[in-house]
């Protein structure tokens, strides 16, 4: 269900939902939920089941109930676009949680911060905690390890013959970790392993380290 990792002397747990839990801080990181995207597509005639609307909230409940964090940090793109009916569901979800909630703004977060602040959700551009930098877009900053999202990273695994399958993943380099997109209707971007990186595939109910057999001297770029 989870996979542990040590970073800068701190302990973290990667969850199959795509969330990352910082044990010492009791802090849960969730990136790229893209709430409202399902309703947005349904509004314009896409054949997306209504049940998909509830899936993100159910998965958020799963990760929160499992870790019982003191703080939840959404790492950008919490909402896909402007307000729609899913905002009401989000209001209900926030009011049901007795935790501090912070939103690190992403490029899709165009809803007024006043709406979030009315729910007690703090909206910021970035967050520095100890030697860690939390942002939406990946960044490199001297002396800091960066947690980010935005890319929706995935890894392609090949089997016998020409068979292959793609999984969302946690993608770690020496000074960064990109979280997988949490939302279930977000899409993904396949990344090639780079020299010295570590990749952790997100399966249905587990997080699994991926052996990197072929590495390329390629730095990951923003989406």
Structural domain boundaries in the chain: 2-210
The CATH classification of domain 2-210, taken from the options 3.60.21, 3.40.50, 3.30.70, 3.30.1380 = 3.60.21
CA 63 – CA 73 distance, rounded (Å): 13
Alpha helices in the chain (DSSP H): 37-43, 51-67, 86-95, 113-117
Q: What is the pLDDT of residues 23-47, one digit of tens each?
A: 999 999 999 999 986 655 555 455 4
Higher-pLDDT residue of 159, 67:
67
Which residue, 38, 61, 62, 58, is CA-closest to 50?
A: 38
The H or E element that residue 124 is part of is strand 122-124
Higher-pLDDT residue of 6, 219:
6
Q: What is the pLDDT of residues 185-198, one digit of tens each?
A: 677 788 888 888 99
Which residue, 93, 50, 58, is CA-closest to 182?
A: 58
Note the pTM of the prediction, 2 decimals.
Answer: 0.89
Split at pLDDT 50, 70, 90, the class of 159 is low
62-73: average pLDDT: 98
Per the DSSP assignment, residues forming a β-bridge with 21 are 13, 28
93-106: average pLDDT: 96
């Amino acid at each position: 269900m989870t996979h542990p990792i040590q970073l800068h002397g701190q302990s973290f747990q990667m969850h199959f939902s795509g969330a990352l839990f910082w044990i010492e801080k009791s802090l849960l990181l969730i990136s790229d939920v893209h709430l409202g995207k399902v309703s947005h597509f349904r509004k314009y005639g896409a054949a997306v089941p209504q049940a998909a609307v509830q899936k993100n909230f159910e998965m958020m409940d799963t990760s929160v109930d499992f870790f019982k964090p003191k703080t939840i940090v959404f790492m950008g793109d919490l909402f896909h676009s402007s307000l729609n009916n899913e905002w009401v569901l989000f209001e209900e979800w926030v009011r049901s949680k007795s935790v501090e909630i912070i939103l690190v703004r992403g490029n899709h977060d165009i809803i007024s911060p006043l709406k979030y602040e009315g729910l007690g959700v703090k909206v910021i551009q970035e967050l520095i905690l100890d030697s860690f930098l939390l942002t939406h877009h990946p960044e490199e900053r001297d002396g800091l390890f960066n947690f980010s999202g935005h890319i929706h990273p995935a890894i392609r695994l090949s089997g016998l013959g020409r068979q292959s399958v793609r999984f969302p993943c946690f993608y770690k380099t020496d000074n960064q970790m990109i979280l997988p997109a949490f939302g279930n209707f977000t899409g993904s971007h396949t990344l090639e392993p780079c020299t010295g990186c570590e990749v952790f595939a997100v399966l249905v109910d587990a997080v699994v380290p991926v052996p990197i057999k072929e590495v390329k001297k390629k730095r990951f770029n923003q989406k």
